[in-house]
A and B are shown apart, each in its own frame.
Chain A
Amino acid sequence: MFRNQYDTDCITWSPAGRIHQIEYAMEAVKQGSAAVGLRSKTHALVASIKKSSNELSSYQKKIFKIDEHMGIAIAGLVPDGRVLAKYMRSECLNYRFVYDGPLQVGRLVAQVADKSQLGTQRAGHRPYGVGLLVAGYDQTGPHIFQTCPSGNFWEYHAFAIGSRSQAARTYLERRFEAFEELPLDELVMHALLSLRETLAAGAELTTSNVALGYVTAGGTFTVLEDEAVQPYLDMIGQADAPGAPGAAAQMEE
């Protein structure tokens, strides 16, 4: 993608009918470290790769609990993600104050999308440079949603965003039909295995660069980070081992 004369702001169309600033913002999402989301009949789950800027720094937070029944994973500009997380949290709190119940995930996602759309139509604004994967459980069951800087949003069985996420999507596309019936720990394994597809050659999943969040009916959105991820990393390690049942199943596919 190269600079051209129609891309200085969001309110100028290119003759080809495109708004380049939005596309650049979408590009920012593609450059963020990957996040995946998937669901079964009982759980919705998100996982993501965390980056650290150098050996001495901490890892960026990429999974946010929004409310008891909902959380997000982000890819792209983390500060923009934090702003949206804050907005979503306050919307959920307001809803709980007024209605004493959980806000429908899809309704909040639509609100976030509308908020994102504002940034694509106003002079002096820029689109958010972040994509969200929203995992939630509400009156209509478990959900995975994706939102874009453009203001688009979709619901998915399973999806991945961020850098090299095509590899994870390929992984998920080949397996998602089986996810419906899976218990939580197998769902987590698929999340980690799909996430692993996005890693650069030589990189590995570790307790410090992976974070998970999941929610179930009536349950609290739970974030797993650091040591809490270790058992699942062990599980996928075993699945890799020759002769392990998990490995055999995957080779069949």
Chain B
Amino acid sequence: METMSRDVAAMSGYGASSAAAGPTMHQWSPYVMNSGTVMAICGKDFAVIAGDTRMSVGYQIQSRNVGKLLKVTDKAVLGTGGHCQADTLNLQKLLRARMVQYEHQNGKTPKTSAVAQLVSQMLYGRRFFPLLTKNIVAGLDEDGVGCVYTFDVVGCLERVRVACDGSAEELIQPVLDNLLERQHQQDKPKPPPLHVDLSREDVVNIVKDAFTSAGERDITTGDHVDIWVIDASGVHQEKFDLKYD
């Protein structure tokens, strides 16, 4: 398009492509993909959630240090990958406000399952103009057992043992299925119903390996990984370095 600012088009990765005759109507996309990956695994009395800190647009890294995790309560963390960061921010802000309202009204913090349900409702509330966010909620349930909830972009909710979402989902999820779920491995023990059967150290190491591997092939996953472990004593935060290229 003649008057389209080149740099704007290059930077957004959208919108430059419609010089066809006829009226121009609403062809602009309100979405921009800032991508990145989040994953979560839950154990008997802990949950681990991790997300890389790269924020990119197209082939450009906008920042190496924009986190994807939000501490929602002392027992629940929201992670958002494969996302439009503007939508993520909106979701996070709304969620934080709803948490404060819940506490004002009920004098306690909501359970992790309630947080997950709320996230689901908020996503579905934008059913016809979806928030471009791939979310995972990880934390402890009311019995102190680790829990992970996954969502699709419009709020379909499921409790799982392990989850991965975002740009490297296809790279990481099969590894998690193999190492932790083992659903079709006749000779291997199956995990318990609600969580995986590995120790906290093993799980954190799997997370580190998974992100290192994803960083090798996925250009939008890199820089650092925030690895947060949620247990009865709170949320413990760790940063793990990935490749800078």
Contacts and interface: CB of A to CB of B under 8 A. Distances in A.
Interface of A: 65, 89, 93, 96-97, 100
B234 to A, nearest CB: 16
A238 B9 CA distance: 74
Contacts of A89: 100-101, 104
A93 B101 contact: yes
Given A89-B104, A97-B97, 4 more contacts: A89-B100, A89-B101, A93-B100, A93-B101
A147 to B, nearest CB: 20
Contacts of B104: 65, 89
B93 interface: yes
Contacts of B93: 97, 100
Contacts of B94: 97
A65 B105 CA distance: 11
A58 B201 CA distance: 49
Contacts of A96: 96-97
A155 B100 CA distance: 27
Nearest to A89: B104
Q: Is the interface of A mostly helix, strand, loop or mixed?
A: helix
Interface in B89-127: 93-94, 96-97, 100-101, 104
A97 B98 CA distance: 11
Nearest to B101: A93
13 contacts: A65-B104, A89-B100, A89-B101, A89-B104, A93-B97, A93-B100, A93-B101, A96-B96, A96-B97, A97-B93, A97-B94, A97-B97, A100-B93
Contacts of A97: 93-94, 97
Nearest to A61: B107
Nearest to B103: A65
A93 B98 CA distance: 9
A72 B104 CA distance: 14
A65 B107 CA distance: 11
Nearest to B89: A100
A93 B104 CA distance: 11
Contacts of B97: 93, 96-97
A89 B94 CA distance: 15
B109 to A, nearest CB: 14
Contacts of B100: 89, 93
A9 B94 CA distance: 41
Contacts of B101: 89, 93
Nearest to A64: B104
A96 B95 CA distance: 12
Most buried by A among B93, B97, B101, B104: B104
Contacts of A100: 93
B125 to A, nearest CB: 16
A83 to B, nearest CB: 13
Nearest to B97: A93
A97 B94 CA distance: 7
A69 to B, nearest CB: 13
